[in-house]
Chains A and B, each alone.
Chain A
Amino acid sequence: MKESFAQVHAAELAGSAATAAESIDPALAAPRFEDAVTRLQSLAERASVALRGIETEPRNPTLLRRTVDELDRLASSAERIASSP
């Protein structure tokens, strides 16, 4: 059950992250936000890729630990962008 839940939920979250990445368009942002929006788009894409890893290998503890670290890093980066002036 644990693997099933992890696989399905990771796939749903990866899908949400991919949709978010597609909906962020740096070209539509005001010039002063263009760089931040580009970085946010990249973060969403990386989150989607990391979550797809859990979907494909839910029983690989090394990959799971790596993914947790990667998602933590991405969350911190997003936080920094959101709080930047």
Chain B
Amino acid sequence: VSKALGALLGVLTAIGGFIEIGDLVFLGQAGAQFGYALLWAIPLGILGIGVFAEMSGRVAATSGRPVFDLVRERLGFGVGLITLIAGQAMTLLTLAAEIGGVAIVLQLLFDLPNQLLILGAGVAFLVLIWVLPFEWIERVFSLPGLCLLVFVVAAIDLDPDWTAVGNGFVPNWDAGDPMLYAYYFVGIVAATFMPYEIYFYSSGGVEEGWSRPHLRLNRLTVVFGWGLGAVLATAILITAAQVFEPRGIEPELLGTVALGTQIPLGEAGLLLVLIGMLFAIGGATAETALSGAYNIAQFLGWEWGKYKRPSGAPRFTFAWMAMLAAGTLIILTGLDPVQLTEFAVVLGVVAVPFSYLPVLLAAGDPTYMGDQTNGQLQNTLGWFYFAFISLVAVAAIPLLIVTNMGQG
């Protein structure tokens, strides 16, 4: 029973931790501008990140080695260092955007000065990450993040045309300006493929002491946790398509995205979604801060892990604290968290293929993985998605420029 409960908790944590500020921004805007026409990007992205996550979890459980350990080993120091710098830069920008997002939601709830809330959030995360053990960092944020499931209720309550919703899962490049359509497609896929999620997932496997008996938990978490996360993402897009598209509203603010549930469900819907946003974005804040520290510690061979006392991994501890401090300072300069998110999400996807390749190579190497080596299906999907995400990475920056960050 305790094993089943543990698995359930893992799956619930994965659903609650699935959505972060990048998903809220891109799904809301895509639904508002293109109705259901970009729904197909969600399963395409989820399957890809699922393949990648399952592999990185399997490698971590089999060999005890997380992503940046493999990056250095498989790509060598030079290319590995470039990957590290790119990954760190994007993780830091994402962290800054998440802290800003937390401050915005707190401001919507309590109407306190934004700069004070940013500073308060930075200090609060410093204390929480210091005090809480790894498992509790995940649970404290991800389980209340499940309040975002109110989007599923809202989407159903809005009674969409389900045939039109079904048609949204088929690519339709005639839905509007093709460049904007491509930009939001890249945005949705990139928000699903945020590199820090894999860094955190694979390092988390090592933190929790995964070994071969945990391989089933790895698969369950990926299939059910992230699969149901995809249902949540779909609901956010449907809600935006139903509420905002007919009114010509572009939800460029987090508060506007939240109003998508207030219209069908009233004040309770708004309160639930704000609580869900607060914890989901808060969870992503903790994950990005720790991911930054994991990456550098693994690449440089430092002692690392939240399961160790700070004195047992001092450079790792300093690294996550420095990430938090830097992220807080960046957003304190007055940058708009939503625009910063768009920027970090779209640029972040450029770093993904370099993190993806070492995991794919390790997972397909029988001398390394033994009986847990990729099968034919896993290899085919793995290489297909490597090619796909490389294409997305190549297209990302030109689309960002041509569409003026989606402003047309």
Contacts and interface: CB of A to CB of B under 8 A. Distances in A.
Interface of A: 1-5, 7-9, 12-13, 16, 75, 79
A3 B267 CA distance: 11
Contacts of B109: 1, 4-5
A8 B252 contact: no
16 contacts: A1-B109, A1-B267, A3-B111, A4-B110, A5-B108, A5-B109, A5-B274, A7-B111, A8-B111, A8-B255, A9-B255, A9-B259, A12-B255, A16-B253, A75-B248, A79-B248
Contacts of A3: 111
Nearest to A82: B248
Nearest to A58: B111
Interface of B: 107-111, 248, 252-253, 255-256, 259, 267, 270-271, 274
Contacts of A79: 248
A71 B187 CA distance: 31
B109 to A, nearest CB: 6
A8 B117 CA distance: 13
B259 to A, nearest CB: 8
A4 B110 CA distance: 6
B252 A4 contact: no
Main secondary structure, interface of A, reads helix
A8 B107 contact: yes
Nearest to B255: A9
Contacts of A13: 253, 256
A1 B271 contact: yes
Contacts of A12: 253, 255
A1 B108 CA distance: 8
Contact of B256 (A2, A7, A9, A75): A9
A15 to B, nearest CB: 10
Nearest to A78: B248
Contacts of A16: 252-253
Nearest to A15: B253
A5 B255 contact: yes
Contacts of A75: 248
Contacts of B252: 16
A21 B233 CA distance: 34
B384 to A, nearest CB: 41
B113 to A, nearest CB: 11
A9 B271 contact: no
B274 to A, nearest CB: 7
A8 B267 contact: no
B253 A9 contact: yes
B108 A9 contact: yes
B329 to A, nearest CB: 23
